Amino acid sequence: MVPKPKPKPKPKPKLKPKPGRGIRTFGARAVDGRLSRVEITAPPGKVAARGMSPYREHAHLQEFSTSRPAAIIVMGVSGCGKSSVGALLAERLGLAFIEGDVLHPPSNVEKMAKGTPLTDDDRWPWLDIIGAEMAASLKRGEGIVVSCSALKKVYRDRLRAATGGSLAFVYLHGSRQLLTERMGARTGHFMPLSLLDSQLATLEVPTGEPGVVTVDIDQSVEGIVADAMRGLG
Ligand SMILES: Nc1ncnc2c1ncn2[C@@H]1O[C@H](COP(=O)(O)OP(=O)(O)OP(=O)(O)O)[C@@H](O)[C@H]1O
Ligand SMILES: O=C(O)[C@H](O)[C@@H](O)[C@H](O)[C@H](O)CO
């Protein structure tokens, strides 16, 4: 009896990437003040990797529609330079700037002007107005810089929640002596120097919280803004 020839094993199909489908990876970069998620697609069969030269020339950068505008709060106690730094930072980033003090209910400003520190209950409505303004900007697809004391962690967390969590803080840090000098030299502002100690006592330093850049204010406004921009990345 002649043995039957064994059937030839079928050749395994070669794994072929589907046309046009490279392997994708993601990164982030700042474009015109917006934090953008970028897609890097390598040609079929290659692994995409940011900065890896063999594939770099094939890499295809594509901005995603999920790119998020930047939302930044410049924070700290009275007289630390929030308004001066916030305005210049916004200009440098090409973003709008909101002076948070103008959003205080008039009763809050009257209270501070009389030398009485604000309470949590005074600040909640104000923080909610700031949060709503920032959220509205982001919804329109616009980045925004706001000056706001944001002295306690609960206040910052409320602002983070209002903006969907994508909020950066630039914390302006300075000595009591320097703050006293700057507040003392300032004229025509409702905030009396006598409230500085209550501001410092209320401050919960944010260093170490996510998205916080701490900058020393013992330098020019330009220097502070340059440090802030480096820290923001
Ligand atoms: N880096 C700096 N060097 C010198 N002077 C500064 C600097 N930053 C701010 N100033 C001055 O210090 C004073 C306080 O600054 P600014 O009003 O910007 O602080 P602020 O944090 O917005 O204060 P507030 O919260 O009380 O409104 C102003 O007179 C401002 O011109
Ligand atoms: O939370 C607060 O106690 C206030 O926001 C103050 O910080 C002032 O608004 C500001 O500093 C103006 O001088």
User: What pLDDT digit, counting tens, does each position of 89-123 carry?
Assistant: 999 999 999 999 999 999 999 999 999 999 999 99
pLDDT reported for residue 1? 56
Nearest CA to ligand 2 atom 4: 149
Ligand nearest to the CA of 178: 1
Ligand nearest to the CA of 179: 1
Instruction: Work out which ligand 2 atom sits closest to the CA atom of 150.
Output: 1
Strands 168-173, 71-75: pairing kind: parallel
pLDDT reported for residue 45? 33
Nearest CA to ligand 1 atom 25: 78
Mutational pocket test of ligand 1: of 74, 173, 182, 189, the residue with most ligand atoms within 8 Å of the beta carbon: 182
Ligand nearest to the CA of 199: 2
CA–centroid distance, 77 to ligand 1, in Å, is 10
pLDDT reported for residue 165? 76
Using 50, 70 and 90 to split pLDDT, how confident is the model at 9?
low
CA–centroid distance, 77 to ligand 2, in Å, is 7
Six-digit token string for 30: 């700042």
Instruction: Work out which ligand 2 atom sits closest to the CA atom of 190.
Output: 13
pLDDT reported for residue 57? 28
ipTM > 0.90 for the complex: yes
List the domains of the chain with CATH numbers: 71-232 (3.40.50.300)
156 lines ligand 2 (CB under 6 A): no
Question: Cβ atoms within 10 A of the Cβ of 113, count?
Answer: 13
The verdict on pTM exceeding 0.90 is no
Ligand nearest to the CA of 99: 1
Nearest CA to ligand 1 atom 24: 78
What is the Cα–Cα distance from 46 to 64, expressed in whole angstroms?
Answer: 22
151 lines ligand 2 (CB under 6 A): yes
Q: Which residue has the tokens 């709503």?
A: 132
Nearest CA to ligand 2 atom 1: 149
Res 21 pLDDT > 50 = no
- How many C-alpha atoms does 230 have within 13 Å on its Cβ side? 8
CA–centroid distance, 138 to ligand 2, in Å, is 24
Res 13 pLDDT > 90 = no
The pLDDT of 71-85, averaged and rounded, is: 98
Q: What is the mean pLDDT of the chain?
A: 80
Going by C-alpha positions, the residue among 133, 143, 135, 131 that lies closest to residue 34 is 143
pLDDT reported for residue 6? 66
Range from 39-53, 78-92, 129-143 carrying the lowest mean pLDDT: 39-53
Cα 175–Cα 176–Cα 180 angle in degrees, nearest 5: 120
72 and 144 in contact (C-beta within 8 Å)? yes
Nearest CA to ligand 1 atom 4: 220
Using 50, 70 and 90 to split pLDDT, how confident is the model at 4?
low
